[in-house]
Amino acid sequence: MKTSSRKISDIARISTTPEKYSRLYSRILRHYNCTDILELGTSLGINAMYLAKAHDAGRVTTIEGSNETASIAKQLFDDNGIKNIEVIQGNIDQELPRFLDSIEKIDFAFIDANHRFEPTIRYVELILKKIHMNSILVLDDIHYSSEMERAWNVVQSHTEVYTSVDLYRCGLIFFNPSLTKQNAVLQF
């Protein structure tokens, strides 16, 4: 961004996950019965609401670096009566390890934060310590830049990954060894 000030409408236009993808993630959560959900990059909180609505028993933890944006998301959750979202405000590099130390597992992780190679790989490596064979990882904006494409290529070739699905905007990663070892590209 060229300025430190942004309009909410600009954030919504540029930084919000398109509805069809939020609906897809919600369907994935229901299908795989994911209840321990992590989101990196809350933005306005719209995607987090889709994740939270997938399961009443689900718990979404979302980490946002901007205090102002996180406050807007919290207000949105309160205004809509959504109680199963915890917002952690702070630098992901500091907050993610702390959060991961406090939990047993992650069923579903959505990474839409720092769109650079090194931080993305670092977040994935940290999250991999808490995944299980039925966990699902989603990397957003995998073709946003050459760094994100490189990160996507590294993640999908990780030894723990059995299947990856490139939907162009995002990539889905599956860790279940009963799946065929493959990298699929699908139009969505």
CA distance 182 to 171: 13
* Single pTM value for the model: 0.90
Residue 11: what pLDDT?
A: 46
One digit per residue, pLDDT tens: the chain, 188 residues?
455 665 554 444 555 678 899 999 999 999 999 999 999 999 889 999 999 999 888 999 999 988 988 999 999 999 999 999 999 999 999 999 999 999 999 999 999 999 999 999 999 999 999 999 999 999 999 999 999 999 999 999 999 999 999 999 999 999 999 998 999 999 88
Amino acid of residue 121: I
Query: What pLDDT score does 1 carry?
Result: 47
Sheet holding 170-174, edge to edge: 85-89, 59-64, 36-40, 108-111, 136-140, 170-174, 163-166, 182-185
Residues 11, 14: Cα–Cα separation, whole Å:
5
Q: If residue 109 lies in a helix (H) or strand (E), which one and from where to where?
A: strand 108-111
Q: What is the pLDDT of residue 57?
A: 85
> How many residues are listed for the chain in this entry?
188
Adjacent-strand bridge partners of 8: none
Q: How confident is the model at residue 151, as a pLDDT?
A: 98
Find tokens 């907050």 and name the residue: 95
pLDDT of residue 2: 52
pLDDT at residue number 7: 55
Q: Please report the domains of the chain, with CATH numbers, ordered by start residue.
A: 8-185 (3.40.50.150)
The pLDDT score that the predictor gives to residue 6 is 54
